[in-house]
């Protein structure tokens, strides 16, 4: 009897905890675990919401952040965030800001910054918890003349908003005009502003790199204004929601989907509710799971759920092979793309060399994802310090837990010594005047915690990221080797051009004879084939003009195929390509030169249309041939095959052989090479012919 009474008393003391009350007592889960971090988290949530709202409404974002110190002794600061997004209707404000787990993205399978509907409500909660004040919200939508005003708090026991001072007003701007649409939030919290690597400034700087279409202004507590202007008018690709893929389904999810289904038969259920599901695949899955095609989803038994899931995962096979499923669509992803990564990096870091790489979309556990990397090298960065690591997930900077992040581990797994950077023992983050960017775009980013500060381990994503970094490293090595060889060649050429003509002139004066022809002598001394490329923006035509000049300073005729990179993936078109050539793969064009005699020069010229100024500043030149070409890189045929493979994968081609069957344009015969002027007076490094 005594034990029964104890059990009843213990049962009476058990209470259900509201999700908001749980997070109130465990605010560190949301990133509010220190004063400096809390401020960055609040800014992050506000900016993420602004960028997502603008992009969904197809509006070029303008985001303004202002931080003001209210009480230094008590560490009270005020955060004001304003954007030009579509705004929020008055009836929805209390749910968006005052109810945890309220949002439009949790059930949508697509790339987005926010998912759970926790972020901005967490800011409201933290503000209320540390200062007792509500968050002031002003929202203007385009269809209404005035803006809605309300102060929002949070009843954590009921997970419900509390409102006060609700009214409307005309939103007038500083210049006297009126706001058409947008949102402004003002909140006070206990937090601390600091400078350095983990700061609001650094977060906004990193955000501007991977959101080059955004215009971001930050006014710090000292009143200093920092502005990151947009560098492109092009909005990110609009993403579409997709259905779940069988490879990413769990048993409980499958049971719920079947129990809620109104489909009359299992084949219809599979086709209607999953991506990558053809009629053939649906029938084969049901066959190996031993489920009738005519069975109703609601009528399945527990053992049938498990059998179907085993068929999804390939544990049950048909003719000793797993049922083949199509990959899910990739229009749910919106990568930054190579040109815009270059622009984003270049606007925040001063350097002359930038290389970027966007891998083709792929799938892990039924979730589409895409890896992008970038490396900026050279001026303005310290050579004796670790490189700056810039980590991003769905265009959001990752500021903390760098050492425990999958993206950092991928960087550390590469031996950067072979690519020109210092790295003790070939492990860890390398040293050198560089910054390395890694971005993961995915429909389901797996973080190590709710604070979304680092990516959890995943072997498939790790391998894909490492492949991208290795390819980018090869680009850096080629750049450094090319730069070194060109510097030595230039020095030799200048010496030869200075000394030999002077000796010839002096000898001719002494002997009373004419100055001899020197081009043959200079050719023998140089004994090299040299390629020089020049990429310039043409103000008049609004195009990028490219010239590639090949010099044969050897004593025998040479035969080459020259190849050049160009931004075909980014929508550029090739114009004025009078030398013809052919397409080798996406973004690679080739010209075959049968004969280049000693002392001859050959020039290839073309223009790129459809780009903006600064989009394309450097053209990589490759070659096929027996004699090395200084200033060009021997074509890596394996790399070319990888490009073709990715192109085939991007086009949804299931045949592996298709990667070797890229259609090429008919080659045009190349015109005869030009002979340089006599006496060694041709200009090698001036970009001329």
More confident site: 428 or 626: 428
Domain(s) of CATH 3.30.565.10: residues in the chain: 19-228
Whether residue 654 has pLDDT greater than 80: no
| DSSP assigned state of 273 | H
**What is the mean predicted confidence (pLDDT) over 311-322?**
86
Strand partners, 231: none
**What is the mean predicted confidence (pLDDT) over 235-261?**
86
CA distances from 74 to 67, 190, 384, 602 (A): 16, 7, 39, 72
Whether residue 688 has pLDDT greater than 50: no
Q: What percent of the chain has pLDDT over 90?
A: 23
Whether residue 365 has pLDDT greater than 90: no
Domain(s) of CATH 3.30.230.10: residues in the chain: 354-477
CATH no. for 19-228? 3.30.565.10
Neighbours of 307 (CB within 10 A): 20
Whether residue 513 has pLDDT greater than 60: yes
State the Cα–Cα distance between residues 611 and 586, nearest whole angstrom: 17
CB 209 within 8 A of CB 345: yes
Per-residue pLDDT band at 662 (split at 50, 70, 90): very low
Q: Which of 342, 416, 421, 413 is nearest to 381 (CA)?
A: 421
CB 518 within 8 A of CB 493: no
**pLDDT by residue (tens digit) across 172-181?**
888 888 999 9
- Strand 621-624 to strand 633-634: parallel, antiparallel, or no bridges (unpaired)? parallel
Please, what sign has the CA dihedral across residues 322, 324, 329, 330? Answer: positive
More confident site: 659 or 88: 88
More confident site: 51 or 673: 51
Neighbours of 299 (CB within 10 A): 10
Neighbours of 501 (CB within 10 A): 16
CA distances from 518 to 523, 674, 677, 686 (A): 9, 17, 10, 20
Q: Which of 474, 620, 613, 614 is nearest to 548 (CA)?
A: 620
CB 373 within 8 A of CB 419: no
Whether residue 673 has pLDDT greater than 60: no
**pLDDT by residue (tens digit) across 459-470?**
999 999 999 898
CATH 3.30.230.10 fits 354-477, yes or no: yes
User: In a 10 Å sphere around its CB, with 0-12 CB exposed, 13-18 middle and 19+ buried, how is residue 221 labelled?
Assistant: middle
Query: Angle formed by the axes of helices 519-526 and 459-511, to 10°?
Result: 140
Residue 525's pLDDT is 64
**pLDDT by residue (tens digit) across 86-131?**
999 988 888 888 665 444 444 467 777 755 446 788 888 888 888 8
Q: Is 181 helix (H, G, I), strand (E, B) or coil?
A: coil
CATH no. for 246-312? 1.10.8.50
Residue 150's pLDDT is 92
Task: Output helix, strand, coil percentages for the chain, rounded to the nearest 5.
Answer: 35, 25, 40
- CB contact set of 25 (below 8 Å; sequence gap of 6+): none
State the Cα–Cα distance between residues 38 and 127, nearest whole angstrom: 10
- CB contact set of 384 (below 8 Å; sequence gap of 6+): 431
Per-position DSSP letters for 38-66, written without gaps between them: HHHHHHHHHHHHHHHHHHHTT---EEEEE
Strand partners, 588: 565, 585
| Strand order through the sheet with 601-609 | 573-575, 601-609, 543-553, 528-538, 629-630
Residue 108's pLDDT is 65
Whether residue 666 has pLDDT greater than 50: no
Whether residue 509 has pLDDT greater than 50: yes
Task: Please give, one letter per residue, the 3-state secondary structure of 659-682.
Answer: HHCCCCCCCCCCCCCECCCCCCCC
CB 460 within 8 A of CB 364: yes
Q: Which of 563, 673, 578 is nearest to 625 (CA)?
A: 563
Please, what sign has the CA dihedral across residues 642, 644, 650, 654? Answer: negative
Residue 440's pLDDT is 92
CB 179 within 8 A of CB 161: no
Mean pLDDT lowest among 14-28, 189-203, 217-231, 337-351: 14-28
CB 213 within 8 A of CB 61: yes
Q: What percent of the chain has pLDDT over 70?
A: 81
CB 49 within 8 A of CB 397: no
Residue 451's pLDDT is 67
Strand partners, 601: 551, 674
Residue 51's pLDDT is 92
State the Cα–Cα distance between residues 121 and 138, nearest whole angstrom: 15
State the Cα–Cα distance between residues 294 and 287, nearest whole angstrom: 12
- Tell me the pTM: 0.69
CATH 2.60.40.1170 fits 518-689, yes or no: yes
**What is the mean predicted confidence (pLDDT) over 288-313?**
90
Domain(s) of CATH 2.60.40.1170: residues in the chain: 518-689
State the Cα–Cα distance between residues 645 and 331, nearest whole angstrom: 19
Whether residue 677 has pLDDT greater than 50: no
More confident site: 338 or 524: 338
Neighbours of 399 (CB within 10 A): 22
Residue 99's pLDDT is 63
Conformational region of residue 205, where left means phi above 0, alpha means psi within -120 to 50, and beta covers everything else: alpha
Whether residue 432 has pLDDT greater than 60: yes
**pLDDT by residue (tens digit) across 569-626?**
777 899 999 888 899 888 889 999 888 888 788 999 999 998 887 778 778 888 888 7
């Amino acid at each position: 009897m005594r034990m029964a009474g104890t059990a009843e008393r213990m049962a009476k003391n058990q209470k259900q905890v509201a999700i908001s009350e749980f997070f109130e007592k465990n605010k560190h889960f949301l990133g509010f675990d220190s004063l400096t971090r809390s401020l960055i988290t609040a800014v992050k949530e506000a900016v993420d919401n602004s960028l997502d709202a603008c992009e969904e409404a197809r509006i070029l974002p303008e985001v303004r952040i202002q931080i003001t110190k209210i009480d230094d002794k008590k560490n009270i600061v005020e955060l004001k965030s304003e954007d030009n997004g579509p705004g929020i209707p008055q009836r929805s404000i209390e749910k968006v800001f005052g109810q945890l787990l309220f949002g439009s993205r949790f059930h949508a399978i697509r790339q987005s910054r926010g998912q759970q509907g926790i972020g901005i409500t967490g800011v409201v909660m933290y503000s209320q918890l540390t200062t007792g004040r509500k968050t002031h919200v002003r929202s203007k939508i385009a269809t209404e003349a005035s803006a809605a005003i309300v102060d929002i708090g949070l009843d954590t026991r009921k997970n419900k908003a509390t409102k006060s001072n609700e009214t409307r007003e005309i939103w007038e701007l500083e210049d006297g005009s009126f706001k058409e649409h947008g949102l402004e939030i003002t909140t006070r919290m206990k937090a601390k502003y600091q400078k350095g690597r983990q700061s609001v400034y650094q977060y906004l700087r990193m955000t501007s790199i991977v959101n080059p279409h955004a215009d971001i202004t930050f006014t710090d507590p000292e009143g200093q204004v920092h502005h990151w202007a947009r560098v492109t008018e092009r909005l990110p690709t609009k993403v579409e929601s997709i259905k779940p893929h069988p490879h990413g389904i769990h048993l409980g999810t499958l049971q719920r989907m079947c129990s809620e289904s109104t489909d009359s038969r299992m084949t219809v259920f599979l086709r209607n509710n999953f991506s990558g599901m053809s009629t053939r695949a649906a029938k084969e899955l049901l066959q190996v799971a031993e489920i009738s095609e005519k069975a109703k989803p609601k009528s399945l038994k527990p053992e049938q759920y498990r059998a179907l899931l085993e068929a999804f995962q390939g544990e049950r096979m048909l003719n000793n092979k797993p049922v083949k499923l199509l990959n899910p669509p990739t229009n749910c992803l919106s990568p930054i793309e190579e040109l815009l990564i270059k622009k984003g990096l270049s606007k925040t870091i001063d350097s002359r060399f930038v290389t970027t790489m966007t891998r083709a979309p792929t799938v892990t556990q039924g979730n589409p994802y895409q890896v992008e990397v970038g490396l900026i090298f050279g001026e303005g960065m310290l050579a004796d310090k670790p490189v700056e690591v810039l980590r991003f997930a769905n265009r959001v900077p990752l500021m903390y837990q760098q050492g425990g992040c999958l993206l950092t581990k991928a960087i550390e797994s590469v031996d950067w010594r072979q690519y020109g950077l210092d790295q003790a023992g070939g492990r860890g983050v390398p040293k050198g005047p560089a910054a390395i960017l890694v971005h993961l775009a995915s429909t389901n980013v797996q973080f190590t915690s709710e604070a979304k500060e680092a990516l959890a381990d995943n072997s498939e994503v790790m391998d894909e990221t490492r492949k991208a970094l290795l390819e980018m490293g090869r680009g850096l090595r080629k750049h450094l080797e090319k730069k070194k060889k060109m510097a030595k060649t230039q020095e030799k050429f200048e010496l030869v051009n200075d000394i030999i003509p002077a000796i010839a002139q002096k000898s001719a004066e002494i002997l009373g004879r004419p100055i001899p022809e020197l081009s043959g002598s200079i050719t023998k001394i140089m004994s090299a084939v040299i390629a020089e490329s020049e990429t310039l923006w043409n103000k008049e035509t609004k195009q990028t003009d490219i010239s590639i000049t090949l010099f044969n300073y050897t004593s025998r005729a040479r035969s080459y195929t020259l190849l050049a990179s160009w931004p075909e993936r980014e929508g550029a078109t090739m114009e004025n390509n009078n030398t013809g050539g052919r397409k080798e793969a996406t973004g690679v064009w080739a010209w075959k030169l049968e004969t280049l005699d000693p002392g001859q020069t050959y020039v290839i010229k073309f223009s790129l249309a459809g780009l903006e100024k600064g989009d394309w500043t450097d053209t990589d030149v490759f070659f096929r041939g027996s004699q090395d070409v200084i200033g060009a890189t021997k074509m890596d045929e394996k790399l070319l095959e990888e490009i073709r493979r990715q192109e085939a994968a991007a086009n949804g081609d299931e045949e592996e052989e298709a990667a070797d069957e890229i259609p090429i344009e008919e080659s045009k015969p190349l015109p005869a090479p030009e002979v340089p002027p006599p006496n060694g007076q041709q200009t090698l490094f001036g970009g001329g012919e």
